[in-house]
Amino acid sequence: MPCSAVTLSIATITAIVAAALMAIAFSTDNWLYIEVKRSNIQSYVSQNAASNSQTLLDSLNNKYYFYTRTRGLFRICYPKERPPTVEIYLSPVETHCSNVDYFIPDENNETKGLSDDAMNRLHMARSTIALFIVAFLSLFIAFWTGVVGCWKRSPGNITATAILMLVTCLLSAGAMALWHGVEFYEKEKVVGEEFYQQWPSVLKNNSSIWYDWSYILAWLAVGVSLGSSILFFSAAVCLGKEKRREQQNNVQYIMPVYPQKQQYAYAGYPPPAGVPRALLPRLTVRTLQLLSPRPDEGSGDGDLRQRGRSASPRPHQPQPPN
């Protein structure tokens, strides 16, 4: 089996897998899992009658970041208890979620009072979504160039598909890098009370954060996209070698083309005597045939002279006297 067929098949399968992984990771809400041990916080509040205990208790009952939740690119979902002050709806996968606000559009100018760090975090979060969308567009174009390349067995189209898959890999990797930038700002910069940097110490001590399966699928999509690009490049090289080999093998089957009589003005007959060579190309084949002697009529100027002598009158000879 040609190497191009095998490599193309594997490259196509990996491209489909990369598209599926990226789509699942992009649309699901399990990038981060944040577990809050609410019972420990309640015990702490009941045991410490400090001045801020009532404030902490109100936050425990009302603030969404005091509840166990999963977080994705678009939604925050609550698998256990749900905060009463947050507008919650049932997601397509039957989980109770609220939307992540990217302030698009910012109709009430709510971002005006944000700090520089908070604005930087917001811009990186928006750019993460934008890069993923462009990566999907590149993947869509790669699908059609791949179909045309397989149909026509064109190394150029397969190479274009490989380049587009590499662009998809780089765009999705850039989106992941921006997402990690958002995570860094939330943990290390002052960007809002709902993020880790400004949590109360009791909440930090009784919370656990780890990456969930959507995050793992996103990085897998990046790696599989890179592998698919390499396989498409290899398939293009194999296909180019096979086409060159086919052309070399077909050379021996090309029949030689011999010259035909119709290509020459005199059509296989010798040129007539007495006709200048400069006029030969201008004469038609029929005219040259008429001017040329036939084989049964003899050849050469001697026959013509013999016929001329036989046709000329004999000279007068005097008669002897009787």
CA 255 to chain centre: 41
Cβ(131)–Cβ(137) below 8 Å: no
Please indicate whether residue 285 or residue 276 has the higher confidence score (pLDDT): 276
Neighbouring-strand partners of residue 211: 32
Q: Hey, what are 83's tokens?
A: 């905060």
pLDDT at 252: 59
Residues in CB range of 152: below 8 A, 6 or more apart: none
Cβ(214)–Cβ(72) below 8 Å: yes
Neighbouring-strand partners of residue 209: 34
Indicate the pLDDT class of residue 304, thresholds 50, 70 and 90. Answer: very low
pLDDT at 135: 96
Indicate the pLDDT class of residue 322, thresholds 50, 70 and 90. Answer: very low
Mark 232-263 as b/e (b = at least 16 C-beta within 10 Å). Answer: bbbbbbbbbebeeeeeeeeeeeeeeeeeeeee
Cβ(67)–Cβ(88) below 8 Å: no
Tell me 52's DSSP state: T
Cβ(113)–Cβ(88) below 8 Å: no
Cβ(88)–Cβ(98) below 8 Å: yes
Residues 57-80 pLDDT 10s: 888 888 999 999 999 999 999 998
- CA separation for the pair 262, 203 (Å, rounded): 100
Position 50 pLDDT exceeds 80: no
- CA separation for the pair 186, 284 (Å, rounded): 94
Residues in CB range of 73: below 8 A, 6 or more apart: 26, 29, 31, 100, 128, 129, 132, 179
Q: Measure the CA dihedral 158/163/166/167, to 10°.
A: -130
In order of their start, the domains of the chain are 3-250 (1.20.140.150), 260-294 (no CATH)
Q: Hey, what are 87's tokens?
A: 């507008």
Indicate the pLDDT class of residue 214, thresholds 50, 70 and 90. Answer: very high
The average confidence (pLDDT) of the chain is 81
